[in-house]
């Protein structure tokens, strides 16, 4: 058997099931290696589940098996907050400086130990002339179990967890894909309960993504899903209670953006980087916005938004960029003469508010057009000690749903024009661009513009369109009854002109879409889970639902949360109310509810709540945007 050619052994083993592979383990060394590779038992590993994980990892992958490894998760956690042994001891309400430093030290130690363990396995594989493999490394934000008797200020913490001394981490040559994500939907954190304890998810400093990516010299894909919506609804007392506990303090959010931009400007990404997908509005689907007044000014004291300007530092070899964040036109104007010559897919979801606190949208009659952001001071941080005003919230921990009373549905042209213009000018220079989208939402309905190059798969109201024959570019405006000026339209019509020629089709409020998902996901929406695939880019094996720990995995949503194909087609063909109905958007009373069901468009991933298809929803129901 040892004389069998290696190619023949590999071919035979590839057709065997797990039980048959077990029988070939002791036939020969070649069959043993092939059985270990094709059985799938050595493809994934989780750090943080048991105390001896690091010794177990080295015993398994310290030899030839490192080349079989494909998926590694690092689960970080903090010691649980339990009742003290002495009943007379008072339970602390707020986190102290010492506790915050301890959390940073624990998080850094856990990440550093996992990196050092993987590095030892790489060194062992190199000395044995074995392959390093192709690993997808996933870092999950820290969790902590909190006893039910503790104040909810310990359950919802606005302080960021930092990675200390990232330069001390070893470089991991085997990591080709890196993901930094929250373990589950933050919206459901108060529903994750076990043995009387609540699961608390910590906020991670945004620069951790950049620091870890800098330690992967062969990185090809970078994913992140972090952040928490800070502009929650605050109309009724129950929602005021929610906002008090879940509020993301402005100074913490501003400093995290500054640290991210500073790290991004200093790091040099490898030329192997092909795809970047960053979601800084994770769980933004379920956030409720109070659409009056200005938001926090996260730009000052800098002259421009450093967060948006820092994305130009990515490698010129980048082919896909998907971004969901609070950004402005600096995201594109900072490129200057430097463009991404290999960019094929660009998908930018911008928050309805600008980084400076103003709004991209206004009411139908101009309400809220001049709203500006408020200054963020260093005092806008969580207190370290309990204060008397906290007592009123301790016994009012109710979480109820309330509908917002005011809606911004019309473009605020003074703020939106610079963003649209800079996007059009930047994408015109991207000669390899195949698909592009710049979009947001107005009251849960998509608003934006899409570009499709030729030779792309499209779908229009459930019918497939074959564009391999007509050689036309598509510019699709999903903007309702609003129309951009001719000068702006001409800028967008220039996208792809140098590559594909003058042939162009302009669509207004049509619903062409791109659905690159496998047939399994197209036919059965119930199997799709909400997560990092919300923008329509789905990679098999990308944080699969089955690989998340049972205690913090994505919950199965009820069937009512998904539309059937028939329901979706009916929704797309629904009559759009007149402009008179649109004027009811800005009222001092809740709008009339027409449909009481809860549905969502699977590809976009955002929820259309119990206000679906009301009269004020004059915006056309969107199709799938990328």
pLDDT at 615: 26
Q: DSSP string of 156-173? A: S--SEE----GGGSPP-T
Q: How far apart are the first and last CA of the chain?
A: 51
User: pLDDT value at position 27?
Assistant: 76
**Domain spans of the chain?**
1-39
Sheet holding 463-466, edge to edge: 463-466, 457-460, 512-513
pLDDT in tens, 566-606: 333 343 333 333 333 333 333 233 333 333 232 222 222 22
More reliable by pLDDT, 621 or 236: 236
Vertex 155 angle, CA 152 and 160, to 5°? 130
State the DSSP H helix or E strand holding residue 600, giving kind and residue range, or none if neither.
strand 599-600
- More confidently predicted of 484 and 288: 484
* Secondary structure of 201-260 in HEC code, one letter for each residue: ECEECCHHHHHHHCCCCCCCEEEEECCCCCCCCCCCHHHHHHHHHHCCCHHHHHHHHHHH
Cβ contacts of 263 within 8 Å, gap of 6 or more? 207, 210, 211
What is the residue-averaged pLDDT of the chain? 72
DSSP one-letter string for 545-595 = GGGS-TTTSPPPPPGGGS--HHHHHHHHTPPPP-HHHHGGGB-SSPPPP--
The span from the CA of 28 to the CA of 1, in Å, is: 6
Tell me how far apart the alpha carbons of residues 601 and 624 are, in angstroms, rounded to a whole number. Answer: 8
CA 535/CA 279 separation, integer angstroms: 10
In the predicted model, is pLDDT for residue 390 greater than 80? no
Distances (CA, A) of 286 to 96, 283, 404, 609: 31, 6, 13, 9
Say if residue 210 is preceded by a cis peptide, omega within 30 of 0.
Answer: no
Task: Please name which of 368, 127, 406, 171 lies closest in space to residue 288, comparing C-alpha atoms.
Answer: 406
Q: What pLDDT was estimated at residue 444?
A: 60
416-452 pLDDT per residue, tens: 999 999 999 999 999 889 889 999 877 667 789 989 8
Vertex 481, ends 477 and 482: CA angle to 5°?
70
pLDDT digits (tens, 9 = 90+) for 445-459: 778 998 988 765 544
Q: Answer for the pair 289, 352: CB distance below 8 angstroms, yes or no.
A: yes
Highest mean pLDDT among 381-385, 534-538, 540-544: 381-385
- Which conformational region is residue 455 in: left (phi greater than 0), alpha (psi within -120 to 50 degrees), or beta? left
* CA gyration radius, the chain: 26
Residue 243: predicted pLDDT: 66
Whole-number Å distance between alpha carbons of 46 and 238: 39
Those residues whose C-beta lies under 8 Å from the C-beta of residue 419, and which sit 6 or more positions away, are: 328, 329, 332, 350, 360, 438
Q: How far apart are CA 116 and CA 171, in angstroms?
A: 9
Distances in whole angstroms, Cα of residue 409 to Cα of each of 327, 328, 579, 617: 19, 19, 12, 9
Residue 438 has what pLDDT?
93
């Amino acid at each position: 058997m040892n004389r069998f050619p290696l190619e023949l052994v590999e071919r035979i083993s590839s057709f065997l099931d797990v039980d048959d592979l077990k029988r070939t383990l002791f036939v020969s060394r070649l069959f043993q290696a092939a059985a270990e590779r094709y059985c799938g038992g050595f493809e994934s590993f989780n750090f943080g589940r048991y105390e001896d994980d690091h010794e177990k990892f080295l015993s398994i992958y310290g030899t030839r098996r490192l080349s079989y490894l494909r998926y590694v998760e690092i689960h970080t956690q903090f010691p649980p907050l339990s009742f003290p042994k002495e009943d007379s001891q008072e339970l602390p309400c707020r986190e102290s400086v010492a506790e915050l430093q301890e959390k940073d030290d624990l998080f850094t130690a856990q990440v550093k130990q996992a990196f050092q363990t993987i590095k030892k396995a790489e060194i062992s594989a190199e000395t044995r002339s074995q392959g390093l493999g192709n690993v997808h490394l996933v870092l999950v934000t820290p969790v902590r179990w909190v006893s039910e008797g503790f104040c909810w200020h310990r359950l919802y913490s606005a302080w960021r967890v930092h990675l200390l001394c990232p330069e001390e981490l070893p470089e991991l040559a085997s990591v080709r894909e890196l993901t930094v994500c929250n373990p589950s939907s933050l919206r459901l954190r108060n529903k994750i309960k076990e043995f009387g304890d609540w699961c608390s998810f910590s906020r991670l400093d945004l620069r951790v993504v950049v620091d870890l990516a800098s330690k992967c010299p062969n990185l090809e894909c970078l994913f992140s899903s972090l952040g928490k919506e800070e502009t929650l609804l605050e109309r009724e007392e129950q929602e005021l209670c929610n906002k008090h506990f879940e509020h993301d303090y402005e100074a913490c959010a501003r400093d995290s953006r500054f640290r991210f931009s500073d790290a991004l400007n200093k790091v040099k990404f490898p030329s192997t980087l092909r795809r970047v997908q960053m979601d800084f509005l994770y769980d933004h689907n379920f956030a409720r916005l109070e659409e009056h007044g200005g938001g926090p000014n996260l730009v000052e004291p800098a002259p421009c938004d450093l967060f948006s300007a820092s994305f130009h530092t990515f490698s010129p070899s980048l082919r896909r960029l998907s971004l969901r964040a609070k950004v402005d036109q600096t995201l594109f104007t900072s490129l200057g003469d430097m463009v991404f010559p290999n960019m094929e897919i660009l998908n930018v979801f911008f928050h309805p508010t600008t980084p400076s606190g103003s709004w991209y949208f206004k009411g139908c009659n101009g309400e809220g057009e001049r709203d500006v952001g408020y200054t963020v001071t260093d005092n806008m941080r969580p207190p370290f000690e309990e204060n008397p005003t906290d007592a009123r919230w301790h016994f009012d921990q109710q979480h109820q749903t309330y509908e917002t009373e005011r809606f911004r549905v019309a473009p605020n042209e003074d703020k939106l024009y610079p963003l649209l213009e800079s996007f059009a000018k930047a994408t015109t220079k991207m000669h390899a661009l195949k698909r592009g989208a710049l979009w947001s939402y107005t009251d849960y309905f998509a608003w934006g513009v899409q570009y499709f190059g030729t030779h792309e798969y499209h779908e229009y109201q459930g019918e497939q369109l074959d564009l391999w024959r007509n050689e036309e570019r598509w510019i699709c405006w999903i903007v309702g009854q609003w129309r951009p000026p001719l000068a702006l339209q001409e800028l967008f019509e220039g996208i792809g002109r140098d590559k594909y020629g003058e042939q162009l089709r302009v669509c207004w409020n049509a619903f062409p879409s791109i659905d690159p998902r496998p047939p399994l996901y197209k036919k059965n929406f119930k199997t799709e889970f909400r997560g990092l695939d919300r923008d329509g880019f789905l990679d098999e094996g990308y944080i699969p639902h089955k690989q998340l720990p049972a205690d913090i995995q994505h919950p199965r949503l009820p069937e009512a949360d998904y539309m059937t194909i028939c329901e979706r087609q009916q929704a797309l063909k629904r009559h759009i109310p007149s402009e008179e109905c649109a004027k009811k958007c800005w009222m001092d009373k809740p709008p009339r509810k027409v449909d009481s069901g809860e549905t969502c468009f699977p590809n976009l991933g955002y929820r259309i709540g119990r206000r679906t298809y009301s009269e004020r929803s004059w915006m056309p129901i969107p199709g799938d945007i990328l």
